[in-house]
Structure 1
Amino acid sequence: MTAELQKRQSLLGVPKHDLIQDVPTRWNSSHSMIERLCEQRRVLNDIMLDEKITKKDHASLLLKDHEWDLLDQLSVFFKDFSEVTTFMSTESHVSLSHIYPIVCGLIRKNSIVNSDNPIIRKARESVISELQRRYSPTDEDIGKSILILASFLDPKYKALNFLSKEQKKVCMGEIESRMDDIPLRDSIPSSNDDSQPPAKRARKPSGIDYLTQFSPEKEKSTRENELENYLSDRIQPNEDPLLWWRKNEEKYPVLSKLAKKFLGVPATSVPPERFFSSAGLIITKLRNRLSSELVDKIIFLHKNKFT
């Protein structure tokens, strides 16, 4: 069958790709299977209509035109979800901050697009219903969630255009509250210089100390200015948020603390699961005497290498 498939692909000028089977444990395999079937439609029809190759008992497997049209529409429908799951499963970029922008985008797109096919229409309605049930995007209190805070701390999404005004106010209130929980002296980056300057004698109290002391009101004002400056700061839309915060850590000492706390959280369980796969590739029958400490170090170096 494989040889015949390749022969027909050459004759019909169709890409020489193998067929893909659906795997229940692989998120995108259904879309990959349907997309490949649509690509190989001419070849598959040609083979199915050839009585020398296809048995009469299998003739019923030949898809009708309306069934092929449905597969084409399903391929387009699944494409967004395939791209989203692939994007959210990578480890090379921040992922937590993308969840709500993507969820709201999927709901908006599937609400606008109309389809004459009742199956596709039902699928879109089901997707919208499930996303709303799982993420509650219209709930005012989601502004306090870690997912929304991560989106705000991602410079690309700091305007929170996917939220309502009420949700934005809740988010800003939560950000201000968390900023107040961080002592200002702890948020100032320390110098990398290990050398310690010689100790200085204690200065005698001066009559103008009351002018130079940092009051709680002044500290609060500083935090408010930091938040306002962050909101008005211009950014490059495709810039890595972690690199952006590294460059602006001294400019936004308090917010950078929050960014480090939230933006490093993975959005899915895929990265932790890959750790187990990596361990399985390292510990084999021929390498079964490695200590747990050494395995941890090898995995750490592998997962934190720069390419």
Structure 2
Amino acid sequence: MYIIDLQGFQYKKELAFTCKEISIFNINDKSCVNRIVKPKIPYKHLRESVKIQIDWTVNHVHGLRWSSSWDNLPYSGLGDFISDSVLDEDQPVLVKGMEKKRWLEPHLPNNIIIDLEPWNSTLDMLERLCRRRDAIISTLAILQHEITLSPTDWDIAKHAISILQIFNDVTCDISAEKNVSISKIILFVSAMGNHLLEFQATLPLRELQVILEIYLKEIAENLENNELVAQATLLDPRFKKYGFRDINKANNAVELLKSKIKLFRDVSVNVNISEETNKNVQLQESKDSRQKSSIWKWFDEKVIQIRVPSNPTAAAILEIDKYMAESLIDRHEDPLLWWYERKNIYPKLYALVQRRLCITATSVPKKKQIKKF
């Protein structure tokens, strides 16, 4: 069996998948070969829109520049390199991604190439199998094939669909998200875990259920201990603490957020508050210009001292406590818009929100539009 990893470029339909790096791992003898190939088209001959897409891929995906080449392997020599590295035609080849699979098929026409990317392909396969149950049973009987499916086998397939359906629902939900996604991760893992706990599976599906439960529990613990994910969940006004499975970890995340936010853009925030306070005082003095300034001088100085926080730690704690005390917004509302409308109320938190809620939680190739705010 072989595992092939491909890295490259693609620009819509105008530019088919272009391989830049290829690694071939032979599972049987544990050998691995790797090549970075020369581009088939010089960079300077590409259209400007294609260059923009390529530069974005270099900076945000794999870091492999279009013109780089370590081994002087020409693009035209890729086919020979692949066929020389994959010698066993009866061995399957594992690759991640449908486009990469299609790209490999002409180079390995006699090997079975399996796309590993969509885990839910198992669900799709089982659903198609059950929908065509009668046709499959009839075909196997006519052909007198040695493979037969018993009623127990069909029952296992049916119940496996019920177990895996929640994973497909999560995939669809997070792929369709146009705004914030990282703050949903803990909730998604919790939803999948609760679904498995409610499902009463029998052997042999019970073994599958236990494996998934253990796996999800481990993921959930790691996520709630992850600083970026925990802070993003807290800073999403749809979820806050309620997005955590463990309330103790939610409280720990709040304390870590307080320690981080107290030093975040502290000077600029205090300057803004001071300027606003001074403007209010000047406005009040202009209204009371008929009064002697000495009458209100002591009072105005006292107000400034009260309104401008002298302790950055206290100011940060006050801002976080005020935010946490607000009611949750509807799950379908836009958290980015909510924060934009309150950026002057929570200036410290807003600065951190811009660095947290912009993180995407998946690389699924769906149309995502992260709004600028």
Please confirm whether the aligned pair reaches a TM-score higher than 0.5, indicating the same fold.
Answer: yes
- Name the structure 1 match of 2:207: 122
Change (3 A) 1:93 1:38: farther
- Name the structure 2 match of 1:106: 192
Q: Provide the rounded CA distance (Å) in 1 between the counterparts of 2:221 and 2:264.
A: 29
Instruction: Work out whether residues 183 and 357 of structure 2, in 8 Å CA contact, stay in contact via their aligned partners in 1.
Output: yes
Amino acid at match of 1:259: V
Alpha-carbon distance, 1:220 to partner: 4.6
- Name the structure 2 match of 1:296: none
Alpha-carbon distance, 1:187 to partner: 5.0
Deviation string 1:248-278 (CA, Å, 9 cap, x unpaired) is 222322222222111111113335xx89xxx
Instruction: Work out whether residues 143 and 149 of structure 1, in 8 Å CA contact, stay in contact via their aligned partners in 2.
Output: no
Q: Is 1:42 aligned to 2:134, yes or no?
A: yes
The CA RMSD over aligned residues, in Å, is 3.5
Structure 1 residues 57-206: aligned runs within 5 Å: 59-90=145-176, 92-116=178-202, 118-136=203-221, 142-143=224-225, 145-160=227-242, 162-184=244-266, 186-187=268-269
- Name the structure 1 match of 2:119: 27
Amino acid at match of 2:362: T
Match of 1:265 among 359, 365, 369: 359
**1:115 aligns to what SS in structure 2?**
coil
Q: Provide the rounded CA distance (Å) in 1 between the counterparts of 2:364 and 2:177.
A: 9
Gaps of 5+ in 2: 1-112, 273-292
> How much identity, in percent, do the aligned residues show?
23
Gaps of 5+ in 1: 1-20, 191-203, 276-301
**1:238 aligns to what SS in structure 2?**
coil
Amino acid at match of 2:333: E
Identify which range, 244-253 or 74-83, moves more after superposition: 244-253
Q: Provide the rounded CA distance (Å) in 2 between the counterparts of 1:233 and 1:303.
A: 27
- Name the structure 1 match of 2:347: 253
Q: Provide the rounded CA distance (Å) in 1 between the counterparts of 2:135 and 2:347.
A: 61
Alpha-carbon distance, 1:180 to partner: 0.4
Alpha-carbon distance, 1:75 to partner: 1.0
Alpha-carbon distance, 1:91 to partner: 5.7
Higher helix share: 1
- Name the structure 2 match of 1:282: none
TM-score by length of 2: 0.54
Q: Provide the rounded CA distance (Å) in 1 between the counterparts of 2:120 and 2:321.
A: 42
Q: Provide the rounded CA distance (Å) in 1 between the counterparts of 2:178 and 2:319.
A: 29
Change (3 A) 1:42 1:169: same
Instruction: Work out whether residues 144 and 171 of structure 1, in 8 Å CA contact, stay in contact via their aligned partners in 2.
Output: no
Instruction: Work out whether residues 22 and 30 of structure 1, in 8 Å CA contact, stay in contact via their aligned partners in 2.
Output: no
Q: Provide the rounded CA distance (Å) in 2 between the counterparts of 1:24 and 1:166.
A: 37
Amino acid at match of 1:158: K
Higher strand share: 2
